[in-house]
Structure 1
Amino acid sequence: MNTIEIIEYTPDLQPEFERINKQWVEQFFSLEEFDRNQLEHPQEYIIDKGGAILFARDGGQILGTVGLVKSGEDVYEMIKMGVSPEARGQGVGQLLGKGILEKARALGGRKVVLYSSSKLGAALALYRKIGFKDIPMGCGQYGRCNVKMEIDL
């Protein structure tokens, strides 16, 4: 691998955001309407609502992505973290996680929450490694969720 850089969303990267996330969602679950909205129209459903999307790029290849949506005055939700199968286990997820927490701070966030599933053991381990703590449940709109985590920034 060359040097992995973290870059921000541009409209030409929408297909990569969709590709990477559909791969893992469809592997473990089924796409829900909110998934399709966010993946097919990230500008409208994420960026324009005060959120952000980051990508990990090695040369010209996009290896992974993660999103952030505003869910309160100074609270953000980390969403849609995915790493291409060929890049897993190489620290890409950790770089993305740290990058999105920095982005949340830059946007004025004081807390980031995430909703996940116990089926995603490697992802949960990564979230804990970068500082997220398990908190009592309340998944709201997410049918596949049974884990809620947060981190104070």
Structure 2
Amino acid sequence: MTASGKISIIPFDSKYAKDFAALNIEWLEKYFVVEPHDTDLLEQCEETIINKGGLIFFAKVNNDIAGTFSLIKTEEGIYELGKMAVSPKFQGQKIGQQLMQFCIQFSKDQGWKKILLYSNRILENAIYIYSKYGFVEVPLEDTPPYQRSNIKMELVL
């Protein structure tokens, strides 16, 4: 199945909350473990992300949710890009890159200062994409929000 020209990026709707959780649990369980902080964000995304000034977007291909990401407000004008995932059946179609382009343009349109993210170096494809779009490595806090994090990156807008 190809996604040529049929991808739309849509904002959060509570009917997609289960897709948000499922897409992320899939990759977390593949590479790591689902941490308590993940569970809070994924299972209660409206309370922990949306209601605190954050946003969630989805890549939709025809009627399927193919990918997702969130922008979690950390302080005024600074957001954490988190919970970015693309369904395995849609990987290799540059959906992650389309989500990234949308994320950066959306953030610039909001007049935000920067986007930051936490990742792990074993996710080489993700790190490559972040770097390609201008994210640079910055020092990681002593106690990052995720135990699996061993790299922090940011993009000054």
**2: distance between equivalents of 1:46 and 1:118?**
25
The 5 A counterparts of 1:27-106 are: 27-106=30-109
Q: Which consecutive unaligned segments of at least 5 residues does structure 1 have?
A: none
For residue 137 of structure 1, report the CA deviation from its aligned partner: 2.1
Partner-residue secondary structure (3-state), 1:140: coil
For residue 134 of structure 1, report the CA deviation from its aligned partner: 1.3
Query: What TM-score do the two structures reach when normalised by structure 2?
Result: 0.92
Partner-residue secondary structure (3-state), 2:75: coil
**2: distance between equivalents of 1:137 and 1:34?**
17
**2: distance between equivalents of 1:107 and 1:34?**
27
**1: distance between equivalents of 2:8 and 2:84?**
16
For residue 135 of structure 1, report the CA deviation from its aligned partner: 1.5
Q: What is the root-mean-square deviation in Å for CA atoms of aligned residues?
A: 1.2
Would the aligned equivalents of 1:68 and 1:104 in 2 still touch at CA under 8 Å? no
**2: distance between equivalents of 1:24 and 1:12?**
21
Would the aligned equivalents of 1:112 and 1:151 in 2 still touch at CA under 8 Å? yes
Pick the aligned partner of 1:113 from 97, 112, 116. Answer: 116
**1: distance between equivalents of 2:41 and 2:105?**
22
Partner-residue secondary structure (3-state), 1:31: coil
**2: distance between equivalents of 1:37 and 1:144?**
16
Deviating beyond 6 angstroms after TM superposition, the runs of 4 or more aligned structure 1 residues are none
| Pair 1:16-2:30 in alignment | no
Query: What is the percentage of aligned positions where both structures have the same residue?
Result: 38
Q: Which consecutive unaligned segments of at least 5 residues does structure 2 have?
A: none
| Pair 1:143-2:154 in alignment | no
Deviation by residue 1:75-110 (Cα, 9 ceiling, x = unmatched): 110000000011112110011112122332344411
Number of matched pairs:
153
